[in-house]
């Protein structure tokens, strides 16, 4: 009887441990080769600040979706700070400002500005030029013509490479984990914008395939959120 009890307890413990460590689905598909992205040139970003005059409570109190912006461009320090809030590295082990299931970091963040579209490289805290020229008008056209995109000097585009997460967590949990992660990263950006006295709005209404086309995103970088940011009008 004692032996049976011990075996049952061991079984329960094994199941509990496995779920705490997010079990891998047995129906996992093979991970595709990551897309190679050409690097045109890079721009170093100023070291992000880690202290500021506004408390996190005040940023939450003041956060509101802002859709009208002045023409004033953002400084490189402001752009760097917002990208750092989204996915900056904050730990020697490569851990970031936003949590990630299994620390697999499926998110890739882009910055669309008047001058160019950049990809954020969190490891070097730098911008990688992805496409030269102003893509805000075509982006606006494929995002249901939402004026905030035309007006904002910066739109942060959060994309996800689902395969990074599905290789461990399988097809069933991955969409949920990636959606949760993009929410974490986006909220960091929205609160950071408030702390910089800027305004922002999270945009989910756009044509996925066309945003990918307009921004020449790699096939496996799925756009999930557009966040126009600027000085409130
Ligand atoms: C998932 C999601 C998608 C959204 N998509 C859009 C959008 O496409 N366009 C827009 O102007 N606002 C969008 N919003 C912002 C909401 O309209 C806004 O959060 C809501 O009206 C509440 O206002 P507040 O953010 O000022 O608190 C979205 C918000 C969320 C969470």
- Over residues 144-169, the mean pLDDT reads 98
Q: Where are the domains of the chain?
A: 40-230
Structure tokens at 110: 């882009």
Rounded to the nearest angstrom, the distance between the alpha carbon of 202 and the centre of ligand 1 is 6
Rounded to the nearest angstrom, the distance between the alpha carbon of 191 and the centre of ligand 1 is 14
For the stretch 44-66, pLDDT in tens is: 999 999 999 999 999 999 999 99
**Residue 224 DSSP one-character state:** E
- For residue 170, give Cα distances in angstroms to 22, 162, 175: 10, 10, 9
Check residue 106 and give its pLDDT.
99
For the stretch 9-32, pLDDT in tens is: 333 333 333 333 333 333 334 444
- How does residue 3 score in pLDDT terms, banded at 50, 70 and 90? very low
Rounded to the nearest angstrom, the distance between the alpha carbon of 37 and the centre of ligand 1 is 31
Q: CA nearest 196: which of 149, 226, 230?
A: 230
Question: CA 74, CA 192: separation in Å to the nearest integer?
Answer: 14
- How does residue 38 score in pLDDT terms, banded at 50, 70 and 90? low
Higher-pLDDT residue of 6 and 160 is: 160
Structure tokens at 72: 């004033």
For the stretch 85-141, pLDDT in tens is: 999 999 999 999 999 999 999 999 999 999 999 999 999 999 999 999 999 999 999
Q: CA nearest 119: which of 59, 61, 43, 55?
A: 43
Nearest atom within ligand 1 for CA of residue 144? 8
Cβ-based neighbour number of residue 173 at 10 Å: 17
Among 65, 150, 183, name the best residue to mutate to test ligand 1's pocket (greatest count of ligand atoms within 8 A of Cβ). Answer: 65
Backbone angles phi, psi at 108, to 5 degrees: -125, 130
Question: CA 96, CA 115: separation in Å to the nearest integer?
Answer: 28
Domain spanning 40-230, CATH class: alpha beta
Q: What percent of the chain has pLDDT over 70?
A: 83
- Over residues 33-49, the mean pLDDT reads 76
């Amino acid at each position: 009887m004692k032996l049976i009890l011990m075996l049952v307890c061991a079984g329960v413990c094994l199941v509990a441990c496995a779920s705490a460590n997010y079990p891998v689905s047995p129906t996992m598909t093979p991970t595709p080769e990551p897309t190679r992205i050409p690097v045109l040139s890079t721009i170093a970003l100023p070291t992000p600040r880690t202290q500021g005059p506004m408390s996190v409570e005040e940023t939450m109190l003041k956060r509101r979706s802002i859709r009208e912006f002045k023409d004033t461009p953002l400084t490189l320090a402001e752009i760097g700070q917002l990208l750092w809030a989204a996915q900056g590295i904050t730990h020697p082990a490569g851990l970031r400002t936003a949590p990630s299931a299994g620390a697999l970091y499926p998110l890739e963040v882009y910055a669309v500005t008047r001058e160019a579209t950049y990809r954020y490289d969190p490891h070097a805290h730098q911008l990688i030029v992805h496409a030269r020229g102003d893509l805000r008008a075509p982006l606006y056209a494929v995002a249901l013509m939402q004026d905030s995109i035309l007006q904002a000097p910066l739109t942060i585009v959060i994309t996800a490479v689902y395969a990074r997460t599905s290789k461990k967590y399988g097809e069933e949990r991955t969409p949920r984990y990636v959606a949760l992660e993009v929410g974490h990263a986006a909220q960091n950006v929205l609160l950071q914008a408030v702390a910089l006295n800027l305004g922002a709005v999270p945009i989910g209404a756009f044509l996925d395939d066309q945003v990918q086309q307009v921004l020449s995103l790699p096939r496996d970088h799925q756009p999930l959120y557009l966040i126009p940011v600027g000085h409130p009008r």
